Amino acid sequence: MALIFKYFFMLYMYMMGLITFVSNRKHLLSTLLSLEFIVLCLFMMLFNFLNIFSYEVYFSMLFLTFSVCEGALGVAILVSMIRTHGNDYFNSFSILQC
């Protein structure tokens, strides 16, 4: 029973992260934070799945490596956007600009 509750809780956290990701369209920072929350939920689900079936957990380390690279790329885009436009609003810049 506790195992089922744990899976539903992780699925609930994942769905809340997706809802937050879809609804936050004003700031880039809040979108990146919700994306990192989704990645963290996916990591927890993957780690529990690998532990239950007694698989190797090296794939979870690979997943963490890629998620850290994704987070660093998001922060680099955020810093670049703040340097060029002055804020992280999506409405403050146009895609047609060079």
- Give CA–CA dist 86/70, Å, rounded: 23
Task: Give me the pLDDT at residue 18, please.
Answer: 93
Residue 92: half-sphere exposure toward Cβ, Cα within 13 Å: 12
| CA angle (95, 83, 89) in 5-degree steps | 50
Q: In the structure, what pLDDT confidence band is assigned to residue 92 with cuts at 50, 70 and 90?
A: low
Tell me the whole-structure pTM to 2 decimals: 0.82
CA–centroid distance for 28 within its chain: 13
Q: What pLDDT is stored for residue 68 in this prediction? A: 92
Q: Name the CATH architecture for the domain at 2-92.
A: Orthogonal Bundle (1.10)
pLDDT digits (tens, 9 = 90+) for 29-84: 888 899 999 999 999 999 888 888 888 888 888 999 999 999 999 899 888 888 88
CA 40 to chain CA centroid, nearest Å: 7
